[in-house]
Amino acid sequence: MPKPAPTPAPLTPAMHHILLALLDGDRHGYAIMQAVETLSDGAMRLGPGTLYGTLKRLLDARLVEETDERPAADEDDERRRYYRLTEGGRQAVHAETARLSRLVRFAARHARALLEVPA
């Protein structure tokens, strides 16, 4: 079995959002774009160049893989490529989410302290 590629850490926002979108299961590119927009409440919109460039980096890092499993032919377009998280991808999205949670907690504590300082 090949040695896993090193995990990019921290992940870029695009990487993190794509991995989050794939937590719900396999998706093709356009479905990933839609899921990212939905889960970010419209704050992040990936264009095709960003999406496919980021997917290539995630594939190279072995955080996602292409899958041959497809929906029924009447619900699919044969040109679509489907992607899924690898175990390394699950670990990376968990680690990045935990890192960001710690950062937000730190920022929240310090923001409160800044508001309490008299001018």
pLDDT digit string, tens, across residues 16-72: 999 999 999 999 999 999 999 999 999 999 999 999 999 999 999 999 999 877 665
Look at residue 3 and tell me if it is in a domain.
no
d(CA 7, CA 117): 40
Q: 82-85 and 64-67: which strand pairing? A: antiparallel
Q: Copy the structure tokens of residue 63.
A: 């955080």
> Domain of 110?
13-116
Q: What pLDDT is stored for residue 49 in this prediction?
A: 95
Look at residue 96 and tell me if it is in a domain.
yes
d(CA 108, CA 2): 42
Asked if 55 and 68 touch (Cβ cutoff 8 Å), the reply is no
d(CA 14, CA 36): 9
Residues 75-110 have pLDDT tens digits of 666 677 899 999 999 999 999 999 999 999 988 888
Q: Taking the complete model, does pTM exceed 0.75, yes or no? A: yes
CATH of the domain at 95: 1.10.10.10
- Say whether pLDDT at 6 is over 90: no
Question: Could you give the number of structural domains in the chain?
Answer: 1
d(CA 46, CA 34): 9
